[in-house]
Amino acid sequence: MSQLEKIYGVHAVQALLKHHPKRVKQIWLSEGRSEPRLETLLALAAENRVPVGPG
């Protein structure tokens, strides 16, 4: 059985998307959060077809 692990932090999630995108199953973001650094994370999520939703 595979285990699911929660990863917290923009930089940690971004690094995981860059180096091991298949390990990311879904991304949750705080509602109303809008920062320039999230644009890169969201672009990587879209490239790797990782769903993004409110957390």
Q: pLDDT at position 30, please?
A: 86
Exposed e or buried b for every residue in 14-42, given b needs 16+ CB within 10 A? bebbeeeeeebeebebeeeeeeeeeeebe
Q: pLDDT at position 36, please?
A: 86
Does the pTM surpass 0.75? The reply is: yes
- How many other CB atoms are found less than 10 A from the CB of residue 43? 12
Q: pLDDT at position 4, please?
A: 87
pLDDT tens track for 14-52: 999 999 999 999 999 988 777 888 999 999 999 999 999
CA distance linking residue 32 with residue 55, whole number of Å: 10
Whether 4 is covered by a domain: the verdict is no
Q: pLDDT at position 25, please?
A: 95
CA distance linking residue 16 with residue 5, whole number of Å: 12
Whether 33 is covered by a domain: the verdict is yes
Q: pLDDT at position 2, please?
A: 67
Whether 14 is covered by a domain: the verdict is yes
Residue 50 belongs to domain spanning: 10-54
Q: How many domains does the chain have?
A: 1
Whether 3 is covered by a domain: the verdict is no
Whether 1 is covered by a domain: the verdict is no
Backbone angles phi, psi at 53, to 5 degrees: -145, 170
CATH of the domain at 27: 3.30.1330.30
